[in-house]
Amino acid sequence: QQQVKQSPQSLIVQKGGISIINCAYENTAFDYFPWYQQFPGKGPALLIAIRPDVSEKKEGRFTISFNKSAKQFSLHIMDSQPGDSATYFCAAIYTGTASKLTFGTGTRLQVTL
């Protein structure tokens, strides 16, 4: 059972464009939603995260939009750069004991010149 669904599987964006990755979750107990960025040969690294009491969080060129009623959240990368080319994973967790991050299936982003 996949509790976090992520789309698209891959994305090609021109330099300077906006990259948008969408995720949907099922478990309403989830209360923390991080995004991870993974470069080839490296482990995932925390990029930005949001809690469900906030509808939007922005850090530099990266913005998370959160829709609690729809159980959806998305990552927007503004002014996309070739250095942003990586695989992006959304995730969700219930921050209680014995909980663990549940990841989406990942989106491979390629930013072209």
| Binding positions for other proteins, rule: CB under 8 A | 31-32, 34, 36, 41-46, 49, 51, 89, 93-106
Is residue 113 helix, strand or coil?
Answer: coil
| Inter-residue contact 19 to 84 (CB < 8 Å) | yes
Q: What's the closest the beta carbon of residue 20 comes to other proteins, in angstroms?
A: 19
Tokens of 112: 């072209």
Task: Tell me whether residue 6 or residue 74 sits nearer to other proteins (CB atom).
Answer: 6
Tokens of 25: 């979750």
Q: What's the closest the beta carbon of residue 42 comes to other proteins, in angstroms?
A: 6
Task: Tell me whether residue 17 or residue 85 sits nearer to other proteins (CB atom).
Answer: 85
Report the alpha-carbon distance of residue 5 to residue 39 in Å, rounded.
21
